[in-house]
Amino acid sequence: MMGCMTANDTSWTSDPLAAPAVTLGRVWRVNADAAYDIHWPRGLSGDLIALRTLAGRGRMTVDGQAGFALTGGTLAILSASRVRHYACTARRWQFWWLEFTGGRELSLPLHRAMDVAVARGEAARMQQCFDLLRRQAPAASTLASAICGVLLAGWRFAWRGPGVEEGDPQARAVARAIDAMRENLARPLSAGELSAVAGLGPRRFREVFRQVTGASPKRYYDSLRLSLAAELLRMGGQGVAQVAERLGYSSPFHFSRAFKAHHGLPPSSYLRR
């Protein structure tokens, strides 16, 4: 009688990390020609943009620095509030444009062209995000945001540049503040408490936070709280008033108004049925 042989294998990490919290708002798929020339309006939100060039060549200009070229296989993470001008500088420029909040714990640098080879299946994931957002359904939007987080994590893994832990004290200060936000979603910390956690003065903290994340501390904090609110509503067992109270909103009315402004749909649309 022949014996059986069992083979087991495992992989593990001594320092597990959570996936980045990302909320995807909009996706553009662009195939531009030489006439493509966009002047970006001032006063837009502080959301972040991932501009992923697949082929061709373009040029991006943001506030406070010279323009930089974007060619096939480059990635740029941009603050929407600082974008000023971008244009095709060749016969064509093929790129994806993803607008999102969150994900700064991955420490991808802002406003520079990073050389990151286009991975197999990457374009299909961006197309999937595009298709999911078009459904205008909460579950589809949640999946699109999760896929966006996977894309960002994959780009960070493939990029060989330095991260937060390798020498950016401002980014480390902001990371400490974001950790404190995540630990206090039900009782929001004040601006003074957050700046103390970061080890910066209040005014300097606001400046650095916006520079690193592309958003104000309040906007970023609200995004974290409202993302959790959507998850609580989808899980069921709690109504709008209960979730509003749990997350420290003064009333269901104020919660509902903030929720719709952030997600584009009222909280009742997210209730599990």
Give the model confidence (pLDDT) of 178-198 as tens digits: 878 878 888 889 999 999 999
> Which is more confidently placed, 76 or 108?
76
70 to 17, 108, 237: CA distances (angstroms):
31, 16, 48
What is the CATH code for 22-161? Answer: 2.60.120.280
Which residues make up the CATH 2.60.120.280 domain(s) of the chain?
22-161
One-letter identity of residue 43: G
Residue 157 has pLDDT above 90, yes or no: no
Q: Report, at the CATH architecture level, how domain 165-264 is classified.
A: Orthogonal Bundle (1.10)
Of the pLDDT bands very low, low, confident and very high (cuts 50, 70, 90), residue 173 is confident
Of the pLDDT bands very low, low, confident and very high (cuts 50, 70, 90), residue 35 is very high
Mean pLDDT of 209-216: 79
- How confident is the prediction for the chain on average, in pLDDT? 84
For residues 153 and 159, the answer to whether their CB atoms sit within 8 Å is: no
Give the model confidence (pLDDT) of 85-95 as tens digits: 999 999 999 99
Strand partners, 26: 99
Q: Considering the chain, what percentage of its residues have pLDDT values greater than 70?
A: 86
**pTM (2 d.p.):** 0.61
Residue 273's pLDDT is what? 47
Of the pLDDT bands very low, low, confident and very high (cuts 50, 70, 90), residue 14 is low
Spell out a b/e string for 100-130, using b for 16 or more CB atoms within 10 Å of the CB, else e. bbbbbbbbbbbbbbbebebeeebeebbeebb
Which residues make up the CATH 1.10.10.60 domain(s) of the chain?
165-264
Helix (H) or strand (E) holding 62: strand 48-62
Give the model confidence (pLDDT) of 233-269 as tens digits: 877 778 899 989 888 888 999 999 998 888 788 888 8
For residues 155 and 54, give the distance between their C-alpha atoms in angstroms, rounded to a whole number.
14
Residue of 227, 231, 226, 234 whose CA lies nearest to 256: 226
